[in-house]
């Protein structure tokens, strides 16, 4: 327990709420869960010491209701609120509301959040700190003629970005002058609907860069720790799918330079807590500041494995006014960690979300395996939220062993009742470019064929159905081998076996 924080309300749901509560438990801190009506039987609710329903399923009526969350914190006597990631985690207004109610917001100051949440402001701040930024504008642009003039100065291709954007939304690439006007309009309308602000700016679109980010921890005593990098270049539509630490692309000298820049960036904004400095790195090993995330990242566990630090615990310590438990010399990268995001989605059908009831679940475990999951057998994944159901993280002494371990863990992972991306991830980690560690942000696009489901490749649920079709075939042999032209006379299992090509007529 810390001196000032004895009870934490976690303003989030699912795997991340659970993950935060686990650190609280270890620290002897009591926890309060908040939940929507759709999440009544979620694991984070069952795990917490206390729980409060804050409204109907849509997040705008529950997990984004600042008033309801503050009210719950006061009712349950929580000293602090941990926002997790997403939802209110980068909302400066919420952090201010917490402060005015005497509740500790576990995160940086509202001013820092505002400064870094605005990409244009962040670019200016970083330039002042001497951190290289992606070439481009430092002012918003709205006029097409001015944009065209800027684009020809920056040189095509360019990327038009929402200043308040996040989650890969509100970004459009223009390959030439003809595309600028329509891409501006698209970026703006996506920004307006997604972030309520249509401010856009333009920067150079780097060809197939690496996305490499640095984890920072800072306390109120002036200590800024660098927990080194995460390689996040496996992305689909600018969203991360697989992350690893260390990055196979960095050598010791570039790592040291980027770490120095990341610490300078954090110091420039007087950063407190856990934060991430994202960089793009081009083939010539030039690195550029992309943005700073002022919260816990989805992919933080790979850093926790490699550096041996519980980032959430350090966040809580810092928020309670205590110093970080480590000095920079204590932070050493040991071994290799890889994370896969496990999602309820149909990768063979345009990644359509596939919520539903988990009828059977068997999660991997064993040496070097961590599953941050909110799922359980009999749990129904709600349609209302992100389709990510868990994160599978493995670590080993070397990269090749970590990949072998991930392959084994994905093989052990069984989810029956809904479609997941597990088979897709199994295909992904076997692609030569990934195995060799020679990939960049174009990886997914360049390996579409290898990632596509092969003919005759079955999901777990299909495997079970196929076995059932064989059993049905054998148990009703005479009936099933009788000649018939009437498909309706076929048993359901036999029809399935025929359709999959595993049974013959
Ligand atoms: P968001 O805040 O929406 O996550 P980011 O600015 O962090 O957006 O960018 C997300 C991803 O988009 C990056 O990891 C990279 O793959 C791609 N991207 C963004 N800016 C550029 C750029 N200037 N050149 C090339 N790719 C970019």
Which residue has the least CA distance to atom 8 on ligand 1? Answer: 168
> What are the residues whose beta carbons fall under 8 Å from the beta carbon of 463, sequence distance 6 or more?
none
| Helix residue ranges per DSSP H, 288-386 | 300-307, 311-319
Residue 28 to residues 6, 24, 52, 159: CA-CA distances in angstroms? Answer: 8, 6, 21, 47
Pocket test for ligand 1, best of 238, 276, 289, 292 (most atoms within 8 A of CB): 238
Does residue 503 carry a pLDDT above 70? no
Q: Residue 446, SS3? A: helix
Cα 425 to ligand 1 centroid, rounded to whole Å: 22
Cα distance between residue 91 and residue 74, in whole Å: 19
Give the DSSP per-residue string, 89-143.
TT-HHHHHHHHHTT-EESSS-HHHHHHHHSHHHHHHHHHHTT--B-SB-SS----
Cα distance between residue 221 and residue 209, in whole Å: 36
pTM: 0.90
Q: What is the pLDDT of residues 300-320, one digit of tens each?
A: 999 999 999 999 999 999 999
Cα 168 to ligand 1 centroid, rounded to whole Å: 7
Cα distance between residue 210 and residue 255, in whole Å: 13
- Atom of ligand 1 at shortest distance to CA of 207? 25
- Can you give the pLDDT at residue 168? 86
Cα 482 to ligand 1 centroid, rounded to whole Å: 60
Does residue 466 carry a pLDDT above 80? no
- Can you give the pLDDT at residue 465? 75
- Can you give the pLDDT at residue 478? 74
- Which of 145, 130, 101, 106 is CA-nearest to residue 9? 106
Tokens in use for 89?
Answer: 């985690």
Pocket test for ligand 1, best of 209, 236, 288 (most atoms within 8 A of CB): 209
Cα 392 to ligand 1 centroid, rounded to whole Å: 24
- Which of 318, 323, 385 is CA-nearest to residue 353? 385
- Atom of ligand 1 at shortest distance to CA of 136? 23
pLDDT band at 486 (very low <50, low <70, confident <90, very high): low
Q: How far is CA 133 from its chain centroid? A: 23
Q: Please, are residues 410 and 425 in contact by the beta-carbon 8 Å criterion? A: yes
**% pLDDT > 90, the chain:** 88
- Can you give the pLDDT at residue 2? 84
Which residue has the least CA distance to atom 17 on ligand 1? Answer: 238
Pocket test for ligand 1, best of 197, 211, 236 (most atoms within 8 A of CB): 211
Q: Please, are residues 455 and 225 in contact by the beta-carbon 8 Å criterion? A: no
Which residue has the least CA distance to atom 1 on ligand 1? Answer: 166
Which residue has the least CA distance to atom 18 on ligand 1? Answer: 238
Which residue has the least CA distance to atom 11 on ligand 1? Answer: 238
Tokens in use for 273?
Answer: 């807590």
Does residue 282 carry a pLDDT above 70? yes
- Atom of ligand 1 at shortest distance to CA of 170? 3
Which residue has the least CA distance to atom 9 on ligand 1? Answer: 168
Among residues 230, 255, 295, 399, which one is catalytic? 295
Backbone angles phi, psi at 230, to 5 degrees: -130, 135
Cα distance between residue 88 and residue 67, in whole Å: 12
Give me the residue label for tokens 């306390």.
219
Q: Please, are residues 214 and 281 in contact by the beta-carbon 8 Å criterion? A: no
Q: Please, are residues 106 and 316 in contact by the beta-carbon 8 Å criterion? A: yes
Pocket test for ligand 1, best of 122, 150, 171, 445 (most atoms within 8 A of CB): 171
- Atom of ligand 1 at shortest distance to CA of 168? 3
Cα 69 to ligand 1 centroid, rounded to whole Å: 32
Cα 361 to ligand 1 centroid, rounded to whole Å: 35
Question: Three-state SS string across 306-325, please?
Answer: HHCCCHHHHHHHHHCCCCCC
- Atom of ligand 1 at shortest distance to CA of 288? 23
Does residue 469 carry a pLDDT above 70? yes
Cα 169 to ligand 1 centroid, rounded to whole Å: 10
Q: What is the pLDDT of residues 13-43, one digit of tens each?
A: 999 999 999 999 999 999 999 999 999 999 9
Q: Please, are residues 217 and 328 in contact by the beta-carbon 8 Å criterion? A: no
Does residue 221 carry a pLDDT above 80? yes
Tokens in use for 224?
Answer: 């800024």
- Atom of ligand 1 at shortest distance to CA of 204? 23
Q: Please, are residues 233 and 210 in contact by the beta-carbon 8 Å criterion? A: yes
Cα 299 to ligand 1 centroid, rounded to whole Å: 16
- Can you give the pLDDT at residue 16? 98
How many residues are given for the chain? 505
- Can you give the pLDDT at residue 456? 59
Residue 242 to residues 180, 239, 451: CA-CA distances in angstroms? Answer: 32, 10, 14
Which residue has the least CA distance to atom 14 on ligand 1? Answer: 211
Cα distance between residue 355 and residue 358, in whole Å: 9
Please provide the average confidence, as pLDDT, over all residues in the chain: 94
Tokens in use for 120?
Answer: 């244009």
Cα 294 to ligand 1 centroid, rounded to whole Å: 16
- Which of 220, 238, 309, 317 is CA-nearest to residue 280? 238
Tokens in use for 6?
Answer: 């004895």
Does residue 108 carry a pLDDT above 70? yes
Q: For residue 402, what is the enclosing H or E element? A: helix 399-412
- Atom of ligand 1 at shortest distance to CA of 232? 14
Q: Please, are residues 336 and 396 in contact by the beta-carbon 8 Å criterion? A: yes
- Can you give the pLDDT at residue 96? 98
Annotated catalytic residue 295:
yes
Which residue has the least CA distance to atom 16 on ligand 1? Answer: 238
Which residues form the pocket of ligand 1, taking CB atoms under 6 Å from any ligand atom? Answer: 134, 159, 165-169, 203-206, 209, 211, 235, 238, 278, 280, 290-291, 441
Residue 145 to residues 53, 162, 198, 226, 296: CA-CA distances in angstroms? Answer: 51, 18, 18, 43, 40
- Atom of ligand 1 at shortest distance to CA of 293? 2
Cα 9 to ligand 1 centroid, rounded to whole Å: 32
Q: Report the relative pairing of strands 30-36 and 7-10 from DSSP bridges.
A: parallel
């Amino acid at each position: 327990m810390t001196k000032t924080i004895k009870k934490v309300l976690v303003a989030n749901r699912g795997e991340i709420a659970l993950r935060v509560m686990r650190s609280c438990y270890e620290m002897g801190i009591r926890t309060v869960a908040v939940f929507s009506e759709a999440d009544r039987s979620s694991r984070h609710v069952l795990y917490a010491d206390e729980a409060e329903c804050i409204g109907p399923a849509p997040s705008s009526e529950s997990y984004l209701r600042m008033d309801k969350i503050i009210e719950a914190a006061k009712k349950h006597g929580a000293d602090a609120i941990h926002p997790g990631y997403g939802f209110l985690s980068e909302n400066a207004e919420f952090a201010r509301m917490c402060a005015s109610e005497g509740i500790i917001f576990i995160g940086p100051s509202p001013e820092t959040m505002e400064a870094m949440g605005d990409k244009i402001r962040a670019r200016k701040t970083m330039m002042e700190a001497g951190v290289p930024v992606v070439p481009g504008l430092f002012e918003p642009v709205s006029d097409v003629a001015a944009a065209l003039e800027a684009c020809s100065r920056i040189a095509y291709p360019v990327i038009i970005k929402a200043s308040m954007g996040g989650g890969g939304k509100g970004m459009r690439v223009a390959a030439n002058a003809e595309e600028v006007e329509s891409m501006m309009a698209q970026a703006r309308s996506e920004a307006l609907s997604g972030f309520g602000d249509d401010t856009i700016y333009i920067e150079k679109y780097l060809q197939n860069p690496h996305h490499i980010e640095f984890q920072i921890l800072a306390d109120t005593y002036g200590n800024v720790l660098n927990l080194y990098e995460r390689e996040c270049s496996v992305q689909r539509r600018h969203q991360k799918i697989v992350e690893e630490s260390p990055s196979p692309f960095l050598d010791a000298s570039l790592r040291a330079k980027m770490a120095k820049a990341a610490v300078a960036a954090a110091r420039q904004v007087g950063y407190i807590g856990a934060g991430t400095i994202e960089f793009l790195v081009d083939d010539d090993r030039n690195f550029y500041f992309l943005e700073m995330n002022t919260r816990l990242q989805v992919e933080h566990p790979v850093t926790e494995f490699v550096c041996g630090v519980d980032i959430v615990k350090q966040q809580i310590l810092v928020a309670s006014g205590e110093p970080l438990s480590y000095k920079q010399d204590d932070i050493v990268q040991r071994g290799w960690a890889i994370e896969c995001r496990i999602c309820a989605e149909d990768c063979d059908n345009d990644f359509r979300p596939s919520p539903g009831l988990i009828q059977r679940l068997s999660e991997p475990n064993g040496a070097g395996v961590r599953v941050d999951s909110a799922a359980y057998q009999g749990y129904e994944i709600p349609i209302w939220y992100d389709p990510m159901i868990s994160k599978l993280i493995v670590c080993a002494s070397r990269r090749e062993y970590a990949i072998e371990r991930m392959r084994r863990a994905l093989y052990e992972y069984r989810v029956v009742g809904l479609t997941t991306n597990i088979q897709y991830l199994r295909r992904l980690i076997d692609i030569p470019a990934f195995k060799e560690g020679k990939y960049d942000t174009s990886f997914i696009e360049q390996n579409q064929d290898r990632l596509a489901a092969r003919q005759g490749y079955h999901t777990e649920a299909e495997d079970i159905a196929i076995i059932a079709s064989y059993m049905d075939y054998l148990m009703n042999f005479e009936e099933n081998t009788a000649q018939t032209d009437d498909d309706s006379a076929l048993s359901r299992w036999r029809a399935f076996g025929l359709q999959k090509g595993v049974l013959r007529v």
